[in-house]
A = this chain, B = another copy of it.
Amino acid sequence: MPPSDHALDLPERISFSALTAQAIRRGIDRGAWAGALPSERRLSEVLQVSRPTIRRALAILVREGTLDGPRARQLRTIRAGGGARPSLNRRVIFLSHEQPEQCPPIGSLAFSEIRTVLERLRFTTEFLVCQERSLAAQQRKLAAYFARNRVLSYVLLSLNQELQMWLAGRGVPAMVLGSCHPAVRLPSFDLDNHAVGRSAAGLLLSRGHRRIAFLVPDSNGIGDLATEAGFTEAVRLHAAGDEVQARIVRHDGTPAGLRVRLDALLAGPAPPTGLLVAKPRAALVALVHLLGRGVAVPGRVSIICRDQDDVFGDLRPQLAHFSYDGRGIVRRLGRALAQLAATGVAVARPYRVFPRFVSGTSLARPG
């Protein structure tokens, strides 16, 4: 018999499923979830582990009594005494009606920037998209989410007015990135969309356009409403003697819906010669659609986009648009969150950025 070396620990032969079970157990202890676990597919994404492995891990936890089995196709519930130790977390949730790439206050570029900066500051970021059509459904979904998750603060991106006020009313910890309803008293980091709308209308009018339109999704985003207000205000101020026809054209936010509106506009009796388009994606869709229909840009229609996209400068015609440097906003947001994490409150002073106009060949004098 060989002598045995006693000073040694044998390497632990532990299956990856068991390790995963440990990870989930720690998550439960830290209070990452309340009441019930996320779905298996969610866990598999979050933990970067395949679903069969997640299932084996869950089976272990059920067997040891940490979890209940799924009840009638419900999520698995966490057994009482799960140690829900409320620890100060640094979890930040971005809340929006749209995919992150489409949120106007911060273009696609800036969003990964935001994530990076916040993660440097040791915040963990998540994105929650709330795309239900009815307000009630949105509120139900969010209420369920609030009940099951503990977060430091929500960051509201281009939410519609009703939901923004509902959240503020419920006392959900939040700050607003993008435009903020004036009545909502939350820390906010805005673009001055009102000024942009006014400026855009002024640009079109000063180039001689007399039939202009603002194409905007009908989602009641507060920034969109502000742009709209600025747009009509500029028209009202200018149109003292002139005969100016300014329309606000709402579409349903889908590319197809936008094209339908565009076609209707152009087929109408007095088609506009100048367009302001909200959202970079929509501007691209509109440009390609018009060119594809043989409508010259800017020959028959000039286009200004309210928001930025870094492809705009590469195209011919270059899309005239408004642009700004998001880094200042990101820095402020990071500081506000750090303050909130440290002190429990954040200043509600709004921070405003005035985008600058980037001229492009898509804007010219009318035909």
Interface flag for A212 (CB, 8 Å):
no
Interface flag for A83 (CB, 8 Å):
no
Interface flag for A297 (CB, 8 Å):
yes
User: In the assembled complex, how far is the CB of residue A315 from the closest CB belonging to chain B, in whole angstroms?
Assistant: 5
B311–A284 CB distance below 8 A: yes
User: In the assembled complex, how far is the CB of residue A91 from the closest CB belonging to chain B, in whole angstroms?
Assistant: 6
Q: Which residue of B lies closest to A87 (CB)?
A: B7
User: In the assembled complex, how far is the CB of residue A100 from the closest CB belonging to chain B, in whole angstroms?
Assistant: 6
Q: Inside 8 A of A22's CB, which chain B residues have their CB?
A: 11
Q: A1-B100, A47-B8 are in contact. Are A292 and B291 (CB under 8 A)?
A: yes
Q: Inside 8 A of A314's CB, which chain B residues have their CB?
A: 255, 281, 284-285
B-facing residues in A97-133 (Cβ within 8 Å): 99-101, 108-109, 111-112, 115-117, 119-121, 124-129
Q: Which of B121, B285, B316 contacts A315 (CB 8 A)?
A: B285
User: In the complex, what distance in Å separates the CA atom of A100 from the CA atom of B22?
Assistant: 36
User: In the complex, what distance in Å separates the CA atom of A129 from the CA atom of B2?
Assistant: 8
User: In the complex, what distance in Å separates the CA atom of A31 from the CA atom of B109?
Assistant: 30
**Partner-binding segment picked from A12-20, A178-186, A199-207, A229-237:** A12-20
Number of copies: 2
Q: Which of B1, B4, B289 contacts A316 (CB 8 A)?
A: B289
B127–A3 CB distance below 8 A: yes
User: In the complex, what distance in Å separates the CA atom of A310 from the CA atom of B311?
Assistant: 13
**Partner-binding segment picked from A38-46, A71-79, A155-163, A242-250:** A38-46
Hey, which bits of chain A sit against chain B, CB under 8 A? 1-13, 16, 19-20, 22-23, 26-27, 30-33, 38, 42, 45-49, 89, 91, 93, 99-101, 108-109, 111-112, 115-117, 119-121, 124-129, 149, 255, 259, 281, 284-285, 287-289, 291-292, 294, 297, 310-311, 314-317, 331, 334
Q: Inside 8 A of A311's CB, which chain B residues have their CB?
A: 281, 284-285
B101–A109 CB distance below 8 A: yes
B38–A9 CB distance below 8 A: no
Q: A91-B7, A124-B7 are in contact. Are A316 and B292 (CB under 8 A)?
A: yes
Q: Inside 8 A of A285's CB, which chain B residues have their CB?
A: 311, 314-316
A10–B23 CB distance below 8 A: yes
Q: Inside 8 A of A49's CB, which chain B residues have their CB?
A: 10-11
Q: Inside 8 A of A19's CB, which chain B residues have their CB?
A: 11-12
User: In the complex, what distance in Å separates the CA atom of A116 from the CA atom of B124?
Assistant: 10
Q: Which of B9, B99, B259, B334 contacts A26 (CB 8 A)?
A: B9
B48–A334 CB distance below 8 A: yes
Q: Which of B6, B23, B126, B288 contacts A91 (CB 8 A)?
A: B6
Q: Which residue of B lies closest to A254 (CB)?
A: B314
Q: A91-B6, A119-B119, A315-B288 are in contact. Are A20 and B26 (CB under 8 A)?
A: no
26 contacts between A and B (CB under 8 A): A1-B100, A2-B46, A4-B45, A4-B46, A5-B32, A5-B46, A5-B91, A6-B125, A6-B126, A10-B49, A11-B16, A11-B19, A11-B20, A11-B22, A48-B117, A101-B108, A101-B109, A108-B109, A108-B112, A112-B116, A116-B119, A255-B314, A285-B311, A285-B315, A287-B288, A292-B317
B255–A315 CB distance below 8 A: yes
Q: Which residue of B lies closest to A17 (CB)?
A: B11
User: Of A20, A120, A292, which is in contact with the most chain B CB atoms at under 10 Å from its CB?
Assistant: A292
